[in-house]
Chain A
Amino acid sequence: MPEILVNDPGKAQPTIAARIRKWRIPAIAYTIALLVVVGLLFRLGNENFLSIYNLNTIVGFAAILLMVALGQMCAILIGGIDLSVGGLISFISVVFTVLVKPLGSWVYPICIGIGIFFGFLNGFLLTRVKIPSFIATLGTGGILTSLALLVSATPVNVASSTYPVLDLVNGSFLKIGNGLYIAFLVFLGFYITLRFTVIGRKIFYVGSNIKMSWMSGIAVARTRCIAFMLSGLGASIAGIMISAVRYGGDPVAGQVYVLKSIAAVVVGGTALTGGTGGPVNTLFGTLLMSVLDNGMNVVGIDPYFQQSILGLMIIIK
Chain B
Amino acid sequence: MSANSSLKRSFYATECVRGSVHSSARWFLRTGVAGQILALIAVLTVFAIGTRGKYLSWANIEVILRLAGIPAILAVGLHQTIILGGIDLSVEGVAALTIVFVGFLLKNTVNSSDIGLWIFPVVLAVGGGAGVVTGLVHTKLRIPSFIGSLGMNWILYGLAVYINRATQVPLIDTRIQGIVTGAIFGIPNIALIALALVMLIQVGQDHTRYGRYLYAIGGDELLAQQAGVKVDRIKIITFAIAGMFYGLAALFLATRLGSAHPRTGSNILFPAVTAVAVGGVALTGGIGGAKNAALGALIVTALNDGLVLMQVNPYAQQAVNGVVLIAAVALTIDRRKLGFIK
Contact = CB atoms under 8 A, between A and B. Distances in A.
Interface of A: 1-6, 8-10, 13, 15, 79-81, 125-127, 129-136, 138-143, 145-147, 149-150, 153, 210-211, 214, 220, 259, 262, 272, 274, 302, 304-312, 314-315
A138 B271 CA distance: 12
Interface in B32-87: 85-87
Interface in B276-293: 277, 283-285
A146 B316 contact: yes
- Give 3 nearest A-B pairs by CB, closest first: A311-B154, A308-B158, A307-B158
B315 A150 contact: yes
Given A3-B145, A10-B226, A315-B137, A126 B341 contact: yes
Nearest to B160: A304
| Interface SS, A side | helix
A260 B56 CA distance: 46
Interface string B223-236: 00110000100000
A305 B318 contact: no
B27 interface: no
Contacts of B221: 2-3, 6, 9
Contacts of B222: 2, 6, 9-10
Interface of B: 85-87, 137, 141-148, 150-159, 161-162, 166, 220-222, 225-226, 231, 270, 273, 277, 283-285, 313, 315-319, 321-323, 325-326, 329-330, 333, 335, 337-342
B313 A15 contact: no
25 contacts: A1-B146, A2-B85, A5-B338, A9-B231, A10-B226, A125-B330, A131-B341, A135-B277, A135-B329, A142-B322, A143-B322, A146-B319, A220-B340, A259-B154, A272-B147, A274-B342, A302-B162, A307-B154, A307-B158, A308-B154, A308-B159, A308-B162, A311-B154, A311-B155, A315-B143
Contacts of B145: 1, 3
B273 A135 contact: yes
Contacts of B86: 1, 3
B275 to A, nearest CB: 14
B289 to A, nearest CB: 19
A131 B329 contact: yes
Contacts of A129: 326, 330
B313 A150 contact: yes
Given A9-B222, A310-B154, A4 B335 contact: no
Residue with the highest number of chain A CB atoms closer than 10 Å, among B144, B277, B335: B144
A136 B64 CA distance: 27
B151 A314 contact: yes
B85 A1 contact: yes
Contacts of B273: 135, 138
B96 to A, nearest CB: 10
B146 A134 contact: yes
B326 A136 contact: yes
A208 to B, nearest CB: 13
Nearest to A127: B341
A146 B330 contact: no
Contact of B141 (A15, A131, A307): A15
A131 B150 contact: no
Nearest to A307: B158
Contact of A315 (B152, B220, B284, B341): B152
A235 B98 CA distance: 34
Nearest to A7: B142
Nearest to A12: B142
B341 A130 contact: yes
Contacts of A135: 87, 273, 277, 283, 325-326, 329
Contact of B342 (A10, A133, A305, A306): A133
Given A1-B283, A308-B162, 16 more contacts: A1-B85, A1-B87, A1-B342, A5-B338, A81-B147, A125-B330, A130-B330, A131-B330, A131-B333, A132-B342, A135-B87, A138-B270, A139-B329, A142-B318, A145-B318, A220-B340
A311 B330 contact: no
A272 B141 CA distance: 14
Contacts of B146: 1, 81, 134
B151 A311 contact: yes
Contacts of B270: 138, 142
Nearest to A134: B146
B117 to A, nearest CB: 30
A311 B231 contact: no
B144 A4 contact: yes
Nearest to A4: B342
Residue with the highest number of chain A CB atoms closer than 10 Å, among B166, B316, B322: B322
Contacts of A311: 150-155, 158
Given A5-B339, A308-B158, A143 B144 contact: no
